[in-house]
Chain A
């Protein structure tokens, strides 16, 4: 291929003529020289150019038809017309960057969880999620109306937890009320999720009315809105959630959850009768989510009472499916699919299912060292949370306090909330940043 060598190049080469090995210089085809100047060229440059050309001449096998013209240009008579400064590309080509805003037809439903005394509840505040008209944090399209919210998990019985998490909850595991309080007071939870897992017939088979008492305890212990979760047992959950919904009458809790493999009608009815929001849960299946939501519409559940949970898979263990499933749903909703236009809840605690989050060492001998599990675990939870937040998550159920705090902090920043920790730095200064020993 013919190559063009500009005068700027030659000047550069000449500038350091003594250190360039000319056997590395290959000039093929045309040499273009465009010189227009009324300045002067230093004699040293002329000498360098001439000596270079003589060497080039020896090196080149091909005829350099341009050589003579180059030398011609360098005739003394024409020298005053040359200027070194102008031999380089002188100025930037002006350009303006422009990009259009994304316009969507759809809008995500706005859902409020919790009820204060003025609305017949006893919460100190309410939490509102959803309402988006753009992808998450795309404030240049439309300002996101509400930042994502963090609900920290507690359980109605002591449960096995990864070592890195356990230390935070050891003292409250026997007492769901204290546990919930700790989540709010020490870990800054926006909401608390009480999981009534002991009701599972395979675990303690705790009766529904006893589970309802646990819910009352939690409601008394904290003033934030709460999520009430069953055990996930499709046969038992309807009865448990029914009793819990009744006990929490008027508090506008999020009832978790209705899904297609159970009597979702009973759960939806309980939520409606007692003034709650329902979580519509499906397993990584966009069509199943549409189907279940439509069933809920048919049962008369108002749109502002629905949050969806399309399922969270852990980093490294299916997060790509969860990410794309949520992103697809959110885009479909923004494009106008009203079946999917609901705030999204994500069970980020699932991240601890990844063995990298908790296992001491790698079971694979050829792996590089895994380092302390205590450092890995929270990051698995953080990355799972933030990733699904960027996909479209509005509510994160989390467990490790540091992970919850970090996801809260970054999503607040991306949301555009005012933060006071914005230390001023130059964005290019990292190049010279000196790590401390």
Chain B
């Protein structure tokens, strides 16, 4: 989408200001469409036959610069690509890098099922939700069609995650595809040698296909060939070399492809990109070293334009940083990451339970909340609106001060529930304890600097001696 002004969108909207989309005017709606905060489906009248031309025009106009491709079916379908900018501060990135982990067809079946289940079920709590993984890549190590098909069948039984079928052998691919064609898997990959057979497979089974070539002319040629044959759900792999100069060249290919797609609007290659950090395992023998290096390559290409990537290590030390980085980079920078101010109850607090105070920076809030909850401390948690800043920054910037605390107590009628009239300030806000006491008239205690230490603090400091 390359739109300078909402007016360019507005001229194709019905212009009736009907309000069905939730906005007062079509122009207001147009400006939200421009920021991709609303979608065309919110405008119901647009889909009346009389607006058909306009609707088509708008779909073209609003299509993202990089094609959006869906892989898989059902609740865990993954959508990749669909990006409009080169740098997240220019708008936001939309579809997070899909983290795909491998299994292979020479695995022992029991082992295979366990691994698939681990990938499928993995989760890590972060800012109010559980992070999960995105897909499973099934590699044909055997290069035998039946072995591969049996493996694919087994994986499909065990998971609802999207699947990536990996083999350059079209015969092997075909047997795999037959097994799971209803799962809309990605086939990896067509290259300069097998493209014709892969094209037929992609057409017949109507599945997305990855194209591989480190030669960008060849990659471009493959993409044009496939798209002119009607296969447009493409993912491009310009090759991930794990070390040395090869890594530097891989980096440059990813940047140049995305620059052409977004910066220069070259539609021929404006497809999602796939990186393969697991090439690290081919050059490093020690498993820990290889898993570290794999994470390093993953980091590089999460930042520079891979829309999905395939990795091997499913050790927690790999998954946690890789998935956390994706969560960070794909957080919408336009929104302060904040929660609502007010009073929360953790567990079953009574009138004598402690009242902890924290800020509405989501990361701070969820960290404190989960620390209290998982240690089963029945308590109240008062969330102060600090414009989404953490405690330390909010104290320094003045967003967390005695008056804001008093206003929060008053507007949420916190005194009605917390009879002991005592607030536990975060240790990092110790310096406003005096003024808070003066402004509120409540007793103010200073808690630990890290909410992870609240359990220890409870043992020594709660209930306070001067509270009956």
Contacts and interface: CB of A to CB of B under 8 A. Distances in A.
Interface in B285-341: 288, 292-293, 295-296, 299-300, 303-304, 310, 312, 315-321, 324-325, 327-329, 331, 333
Nearest to B240: A427
A355 B452 contact: yes
Contacts of B260: 97-99
Contact of A92 (B167, B195, B245, B283): B195
A368 B88 CA distance: 30
Interface in B253-304: 255-257, 259-260, 263-264, 266, 268-269, 276, 278-279, 281-283, 288, 292-293, 295-296, 299-300, 303-304
Nearest to B450: A355
A100 B263 CA distance: 10
B300 A4 contact: no
B252 A140 contact: yes
B320 A370 contact: yes
A363 to B, nearest CB: 5
9 contacts: A6-B203, A88-B200, A92-B225, A140-B256, A366-B125, A379-B321, A387-B325, A423-B282, A435-B312
Contacts of B310: 430
A328 B89 CA distance: 7
A264 interface: no
B244 A422 contact: yes
8 tightest A-B CB contacts, nearest first? A422-B244, A371-B316, A375-B317, A97-B216, A427-B239, A320-B328, A95-B220, A99-B260
B222 interface: yes
Contacts of A421: 243-244, 283
Given A97-B269, A364-B374, A414 B282 contact: no
Given A4-B230, A95-B268, A430 B252 contact: no
A383 interface: yes
A320 B295 CA distance: 18
B204 interface: yes
B281 A8 contact: no
Nearest to B230: A4
A367 B122 CA distance: 8
Contacts of B106: 434
Given A419-B245, A431-B166, A319 B251 contact: no
A383 B299 contact: yes
B442 interface: no
Nearest to A376: B317
Interface residues of A, number: 84
Contact of A139 (B252, B259, B333): B252
A102 B242 CA distance: 26
Interface of B: 87-89, 104, 106, 118, 121-126, 130, 139-141, 143, 166-168, 178, 188-189, 191-192, 195-196, 199-200, 203-204, 212, 214, 216-225, 228-230, 239-248, 251-252, 255-257, 259-260, 263-264, 266, 268-269, 276, 278-279, 281-283, 288, 292-293, 295-296, 299-300, 303-304, 310, 312, 315-321, 324-325, 327-329, 331, 333, 363, 367, 370-371, 374-375, 390, 393, 396, 452
Contacts of A88: 196, 200
Contact of B282 (A356, A413, A422, A429): A429
Given A97-B217, A375-B316, 14 more contacts: A92-B221, A95-B217, A96-B220, A331-B87, A368-B319, A371-B317, A376-B321, A382-B299, A413-B248, A418-B245, A425-B279, A425-B282, A427-B246, A432-B139
Contacts of A13: 204
Interface string A389-425: 0110000000000100010001001111011011101
B256 A323 contact: no
B283 A423 contact: yes
Contacts of A355: 367, 452
A390 B300 contact: yes
Identify the interface centre among A95, A380, A419: most chain B CB within 10 Å of its CB. A95
Contacts of B396: 261, 283
Nearest to A328: B89
Contacts of B212: 428
A399 B247 CA distance: 26
A379 B320 CA distance: 9
A319 B241 contact: no
Contacts of B292: 378-379, 382, 402, 406
A94 B445 CA distance: 73
Nearest to A5: B203
Nearest to B223: A95
Contacts of A102: 259
A431 B375 contact: no
A203 interface: no
B288 A375 contact: yes
A283 B393 contact: yes
Contacts of A375: 288, 315-317
A368 B122 contact: yes
A397 B440 CA distance: 43
A93 B224 contact: yes
Contact of B259 (A19, A99, A382, A413): A99
Contacts of A9: 200, 203-204
Given A95-B217, A387-B303, A430 B295 contact: no
Contact of A422 (B191, B243, B319, B374): B243
Contacts of A430: 139, 276, 278-279, 281-282, 310
| Residue of B118, B219, B295 with most partner-chain A CB within 10 A | B295
A364 B167 CA distance: 39
Which of B189, B259, B320, B370 has its CB near the most chain A CB atoms (within 10 A)?
A: B320
A137 interface: yes
A324 B279 contact: no
B245 to A, nearest CB: 6
Given A89-B199, A140-B252, A318 B363 contact: yes
A315 B328 contact: yes
A170 interface: no
A434 B204 CA distance: 31
A153 interface: no
A414 B219 CA distance: 23
Q: Which of B124, B166, B239 has the most CB of A within 10 A?
A: B124
Contacts of B304: 390
Given A99-B264, A406-B296, A414 B248 contact: yes
A61 interface: no
Contact of B370 (A284, A363, A415): A363
A104 interface: no
A368 B124 contact: yes
A54 B157 CA distance: 36
Contacts of A406: 292-293, 296
A319 B315 CA distance: 22
Contacts of A371: 315-317
Given A97-B260, A369-B316, A414-B251, A316 B122 contact: no
A169 interface: no
Contacts of A298: none
B212 to A, nearest CB: 6
A423 B256 CA distance: 25
B243 A423 contact: yes
A9 B229 CA distance: 11
Contact of B329 (A320, A369, A372): A320
